[in-house]
Chain A
Amino acid sequence: AQKITQTQPGMFVQEKEAVTLDCTYDTSDPSYGLFWYKQPSSGEMIFLIYQGSYDQQNATEGRYSLNFQKARKSANLVISASQLGDSAMYFCAMRELANTGNQFYFGTGTSLTVIP
């Protein structure tokens, strides 16, 4: 089974509007972390936001917020007030405490295009 599933290959949003990028995950480890990365065309993976499995509140970082629904195993990224510079690939990732050494499991990504 896929550890991370991103079902939206591509999304469009009007500039200044909000957009939600979906992510569901699969783990039996009670301790895990969820991450979102942005990858512009240059290729660099840029860390955006983190949510821990025991965190009581949804994470927020500036215009980014993570809608964490633990029972549904979803960790959607919400970008508010979209900007043209937000156009990029967005990857959801997970890391399990039992697997602390090594792997981040990544989804296949969502391509976001911000329309002027």
Chain B
Amino acid sequence: DTGVSQDPRHKITKRGQNVTFRCDPISEHNRLYWYRQTLGQGPEFLTYFQNEAQLEKSRLLSDRFSAERPKGSFSTLEIQRTEQGDSAMYLCASSFRETGNQRGFSGNTIYFGEGSWLTVV
């Protein structure tokens, strides 16, 4: 399977514990994204990497959240001191970086993994 893979798919943890999710993007993609999705909502942007550099972080990403992509390949998302409000699905996605200026888009979409469901009890 050459798609985006995420691990674990499901995690139940007690409030206050730390959790870590891993994402392996499509191998030739240099951009990697983390999104969060709660019930009844669309995905909300958390952060993205271009290669190993973390280029943007959303306000949703509190200081309890940290994401890394040490070698520009896989990424980890760690949540420290989990709270019940952290319960959500965490989606990873990857894409190519568009190069040059262009009128309009090339249609460079992002491809998602199956997500990691987090339940904080």
Contact A101 B56 (CB under 8 A): yes
A68 at the interface (CB under 8 A from B): no
CB nearest neighbor in B for A93: B42
CB nearest neighbor in A for B114: A44
Q: How large is the interface on B (under 10, 10 to 19, 20 to 34, 35 or more residues)?
A: 20 to 34
Point out the residues of chain B lying under 8 angstroms from A42, CB to CB: 114
B93 at the interface (CB under 8 A from A): yes
Contact B48 A32 (CB under 8 A): no
B85 at the interface (CB under 8 A from A): no
| Distance to closest chain B CB from A9 (angstroms) | 8
| Distance to closest chain A CB from B56 (angstroms) | 5
Instruction: Tell me which residues from 63 to 116 in chain A have a Cβ below 8 Å from any Cβ of chain B.
Output: 91, 93, 95, 97, 100-109
| Distance to closest chain A CB from B5 (angstroms) | 11
Instruction: Tell me which residues from 94 to 108 in chain B have a Cβ below 8 Å from any Cβ of chain A.
Output: 98, 103-105, 107
B45 at the interface (CB under 8 A from A): yes
Point out the residues of chain B lying under 8 angstroms from A43, CB to CB: 89, 91, 114-115, 117
Contact B103 A54 (CB under 8 A): yes
Q: How large is the interface on A (under 10, 10 to 19, 20 to 34, 35 or more residues)?
A: 20 to 34
A12 at the interface (CB under 8 A from B): no
Contact B109 A91 (CB under 8 A): no
Contact B48 A106 (CB under 8 A): no
A35 at the interface (CB under 8 A from B): yes
Contact B43 A106 (CB under 8 A): yes
| Distance to closest chain B CB from A1 (angstroms) | 15
B25 at the interface (CB under 8 A from A): no
A8 at the interface (CB under 8 A from B): no
What 11 additional pairs, Cβ within 8 angstroms, besides A91-B43, A93-B42, A106-B44?
Answer: A43-B89, A45-B112, A47-B110, A47-B111, A97-B104, A101-B48, A102-B55, A105-B45, A108-B40, A108-B42, A109-B42
Give the 8 A-B CB pairs with smallest separation, nearest first. A106-B42, A45-B112, A54-B104, A33-B105, A50-B107, A43-B115, A44-B114, A52-B104
